[in-house]
Structure 1
Amino acid sequence: MSSRPDAVVVGAGPNGLAAALRLSAAGLRVQVVERASRPGGGMRTEEVTLPGFAHDICSAVHPMGVASPFFREFDWASRGVRMIHPEIAFAHPLDGGQAAIAHHDLERTAAGLGADGDAYRALLGPLVEHGDDVIDYFLSSAFRRLPTRSPGAVTRFALNALPNVRWLAHRAFDGEPARALVGGAAAHGMLDLTRPLTAGLGMVLTMLAHHRGWPLPEGGTQRMADAMVTALEQQGGSVEYDHEVTDLREFDGVAAVLLDTSPDAFVAMAGDRLPPGYGRWVRRYKHGPGVFKVDWALSDPVPWTHPDVRRAGTVHVAGTLAETIAGEAAPAAGRLTDRPYVLAVQPTVVDPTRAPEGKHVFWAYVHVPHGSDVDMTTQIEAQVERFAPGFRDTILARATKTAPQMQEWNPNNVGGDISNGEASLLQMLARPVPRWNTYSTPMDHVFLASAATPPGPAVHGMCGDNAARVALRKVFGVRDVPPLRPAPPT
């Protein structure tokens, strides 16, 4: 660094860039340093199969990316990012040519669930009506709890959210389609679905399908990261690439350092500057299952048996709720299964720019035991073929990443855990260590700003934004945090 900035952010993922943008909006000189040769962390798009096929390496569909308070303020459209909404947010195929379908319209979704339609409306209708208030409240943190204008909706949600999704699905619904729909959404959390809080994740993600949708950015998720970097540079900030930080002494003299890293990486970078007790707590921090991911270049769309599944942006491939629960119980217990829960995305259903004319991209991942290097391609393709006979005949090329390779690609994915720490009830209350303000650390000028802090995983930017607000108050005495600067006129 040629001259010392006011603040340094380590890591150019969504949380690191969100922190940098908030700090820069306060008039500070901000520099981001990034280990990779391009920004994004989990928001990267690359040609990994064949030329002209653009694959999202990690995140692809962004309900939180349009619903979170930070990104609503950032405003993707004004930054040149076009968010495309599939006609069907997500689908859950079932045997016998059936499927549960989550349309953007709640009423249309409820109508497709038959006798469970009224129960579906009763469960999700109030959440959709007060969607922003519910999201704002639960994406804030104990340190900065946003006030809510809808205490009734928030309370109702909280009471249903604490149990597990199996309890919720059986309590609310009688039929398999509705149960599978909510259970498949809950499985995004990478937890055993018999554990607490999984009901809450299933409700939130299903509600968002009807509230702000499950969109994909045109051209790939990399466009989102690039737009954030452009906004930072327009405010005078900068990003330095191919810069791996191994020792925080590199930033001695910088007023504030924010880390979009794993807690383990922070402890390693801090060395003997941390009290031993903090390091012991970090060693107790539990990482969840890893992921094994496949990207395909296809000659034709995936030939799902149910025609509506062919129009969905996201597909949960698992079968019944019981099968989904069994598929997620295995990796949580350190086991593999031949019938895993497969989370799949078909971007070219709505975005033909990602592949040569007439061709398609498709990706999927399964949860595997933490750190597993087992190749799950056969099991994944068998699950897809089960609901889309002839799928294998459309494959032109594939690329795979095991859990260790996911960590090599992004060190925050410890053991392949793309959540930067298990999102269990205990760890959501004290993430990553039991401190009142978990963004602060024993080093007064160093703050954690990654998904290892509240509110946890997903592309919402709130971990970084919350950390930046703490740093502004504690280091720079800024209590009236300025809004993000609007995009300059074009």
Structure 2
Amino acid sequence: MTGGQAAVVGAGPNGLAAAVILARAGLDVTVFESAPTPGGGARTIEAIEPGHWHDVCSAVHPMAVAAPFFREFGLTERVELINPEIAFAHVVRPDHVAFAHRDLDRTAERLGVDGEAYRALMEPLVARSSEVLDLTMNQLLRIPRHPVSVLRYGLRALEQGSPWWDMRFKEYFAPALLAGVAAHTPGGLQRPVASGAGLMLGSLAHAVGYPIPARGSQAIIRALIDDLVAHGGKVVTGHRIDSLAELTAADAILLDTSPQELVRLSGGRLPRAYAKALSSYRYGPGAAKLDFILSGPVPWANPELAKAGTVHLGGTRYEVAASEREIARGQHSEKPFVLVSQPSTFDPSRAPAGHHVLWTYCHVPQGSTLDMTEVITAQLEEAAPGFSDVVVASQGMTAMEYERYNANYVGGDFGTGAVNVRQLLARPVPGTKPWQTPLGGVYLCSAATPPGPGVHGMAGYHAARLALKDVFRLPMPSLAP
């Protein structure tokens, strides 16, 4: 140990990433988590019936392979990642499905008349995915290191987020694939912010795939905690921090919390203008979750869907856009875009023999209390006739129950803040060091800071690097296994 102390509040992927870096640098690190178990957005729990393991939030993890923090950390050497050959699929109609294979050429072949147009759109992003990630995983308010790649990416994001998004396509399969990945970012499809995020996710499907961690997303959390403990750090669960005054022994405090929680914890110590800016931070649509236990695989009308790690339901690009637009306006959609994954198809450890678990969610208006069980089930029944016959049990979670699960998910927004142009450039405030607060030694490292939502650890990475430089005058340590 160097003698320095650091406290991290929140044991989600970002908080634990920061803790790992600080402990690797030789600091005495303690992570405080108010929940009984660590994990945040990557927690896996035994629910509904014994022996059935469900991911509470994230289930599929392209960033586990692609994000710079996890690449340096060597996550693929620490966690078994199952990478389906079909990264994702989009059900336009039960008998009309578009498939995104990990192989871009195979994907283009199956898209028929639009195959070459899809390839031309995606190939430069796939070939330069690490350069695109260098932009999206860092702070946007800086000179890009790879301007040509950034220009290509930016022009494509503008095109796909505009009224001319279909100008290069003749059919609806390729646009449906793009709609599905863009709809991962709630708030509406015809926005460069959503299309940019979608293009990044789409290109990662072909660059690294959409891996599923064996034994659940919690495996990522276990790998982070194992490394933290091996370097002298510790995690204290079931311990709620109510004031920064409780952490006066720490030389640096890193908060994997919402901006409003920073205001509360500061006890009035923040400058008025900064506190006002944090209080005006806005949240996006919420998520409504539905977990199933099944007596067999989903009986998809198209059996090949069983080979896809992620399935999108919602119809054509225009139908998905219409439902997302309704939700952004504060209305529930009768036929929302639904994300689906059946991890037990690839990982038998998730359920007892003869049973399966199914992970689904859809977007709902901010603060919704509506149980979406019937709506999601109807979407599944349409794409998989007879689905209800294999349902053993189900358990729903409303948007407001998501907030009770994790205070960072205000109104059910598990992205910890709306993703729009304003909050892309000011997340949570504008500046070249948005992780740094006006309080000396206090940093924000949640998804409310760049690069935003996702299990990538990069917000923790950036905040920890600043703390090492500013507080401890220490270099970044090696993160290799």
TM-score normalized by the length of structure 1: 0.95
Question: Secondary structure, in 3 states, of the residue corresponding to 1:170?
Answer: coil
**In the alignment, what sits opposite 2:108?**
110
Q: 1:206-221 counterparts in 2 under 5 A?
A: 206-221=202-217
Q: 1:6-155 counterparts in 2 under 5 A?
A: 6-79=5-78, 81-95=79-93, 97-142=95-140, 147-148=145-146, 151-155=147-151
Question: Secondary structure, in 3 states, of the residue corresponding to 2:228?
Answer: helix
Whether the 8 Å CA contact 2:44–2:55 is kept in 1: the answer is yes
Residue 345 of structure 1 and its aligned partner are, at CA, apart by 1.1
Whether the 8 Å CA contact 1:164–1:197 is kept in 2: the answer is no
Q: Does 1:380 align with 2:376?
A: yes
Pair 164,244 (structure 1): closer, same or farther in 2 beyond 3 Å = farther
How big is each residue's C-alpha offset from its partner over 1:131-177, in whole Å with a ceiling of 9 and x where there is no partner?
222212321124777734xx422320122124554646413322101
Q: Name the aligned partner's letter for residue 108 of structure 2.
A: A
Question: Secondary structure, in 3 states, of the residue corresponding to 2:156?
Answer: helix
Inter-partner Cα distance in structure 2 for 1:220 and 1:377: 23
Inter-partner Cα distance in structure 2 for 1:48 and 1:294: 12
Residue 346 of structure 1 and its aligned partner are, at CA, apart by 1.1
Inter-partner Cα distance in structure 1 for 2:152 and 2:264: 42
Q: Name the aligned partner's letter for residue 158 of structure 1.
A: G
Q: 1:224-263 counterparts in 2 under 5 A?
A: 224-263=220-259
**In the alignment, what sits opposite 1:366?**
362
Whether the 8 Å CA contact 1:288–1:370 is kept in 2: the answer is yes
Inter-partner Cα distance in structure 1 for 2:45 and 2:142: 36
Inter-partner Cα distance in structure 2 for 1:356 and 1:168: 49
Q: Name the aligned partner's letter for residue 478 of structure 2.
A: P
Residue 386 of structure 1 and its aligned partner are, at CA, apart by 1.0
Inter-partner Cα distance in structure 1 for 2:431 and 2:94: 51
| Structure 2 unaligned regions, length at least 5 | none
Q: 2:463 aligns with which of 463, 467, 474?
A: 467
Inter-partner Cα distance in structure 2 for 1:25 and 1:469: 12
Question: Secondary structure, in 3 states, of the residue corresponding to 2:241?
Answer: coil
Q: 1:394-433 counterparts in 2 under 5 A?
A: 394-433=390-429
Inter-partner Cα distance in structure 1 for 2:277 and 2:208: 38
Inter-partner Cα distance in structure 2 for 1:50 and 1:295: 11
Pair 96,70 (structure 1): closer, same or farther in 2 beyond 3 Å = closer
Residue 268 of structure 1 and its aligned partner are, at CA, apart by 0.5
Inter-partner Cα distance in structure 2 for 1:85 and 1:368: 29
Q: 2:170 aligns with which of 171, 174, 188?
A: 174
Question: Secondary structure, in 3 states, of the residue corresponding to 1:335?
Answer: coil
In the alignment of these two chains, the number of paired residues is 479
Q: Does 1:483 align with 2:481?
A: no
Give the ranges of 4+ consecutive aligned residues of structure 1 lying more than 3 Å apart after TM superposition. 142-148, 162-169
**What's the C-alpha RMSD, in Å, of the aligned pairs?**
1.5
Pair 39,250 (structure 1): closer, same or farther in 2 beyond 3 Å = same
Q: Does 1:439 align with 2:438?
A: no
Inter-partner Cα distance in structure 1 for 2:407 and 2:143: 30
Question: Secondary structure, in 3 states, of the residue corresponding to 2:392?
Answer: strand
Whether the 8 Å CA contact 1:345–1:364 is kept in 2: the answer is yes
Q: 1:357 aligns with which of 346, 350, 353?
A: 353
Residue 190 of structure 1 and its aligned partner are, at CA, apart by 1.1
Determine what percentage of the aligned residue pairs are the same residue.
Answer: 48
Residue 5 of structure 1 and its aligned partner are, at CA, apart by 5.9
Whether the 8 Å CA contact 1:191–1:288 is kept in 2: the answer is yes
Q: Name the aligned partner's letter for residue 25 of structure 2.
A: A
Residue 359 of structure 1 and its aligned partner are, at CA, apart by 1.5
Pair 89,156 (structure 1): closer, same or farther in 2 beyond 3 Å = same
Question: Secondary structure, in 3 states, of the residue corresponding to 1:272?
Answer: coil
Inter-partner Cα distance in structure 1 for 2:335 and 2:373: 12
Q: Name the aligned partner's letter for residue 8 of structure 1.
A: A
How big is each residue's C-alpha offset from its partner over 1:192-238, in whole Å with a ceiling of 9 and x where there is no partner?
11223221112111111110110000010111101100100001111
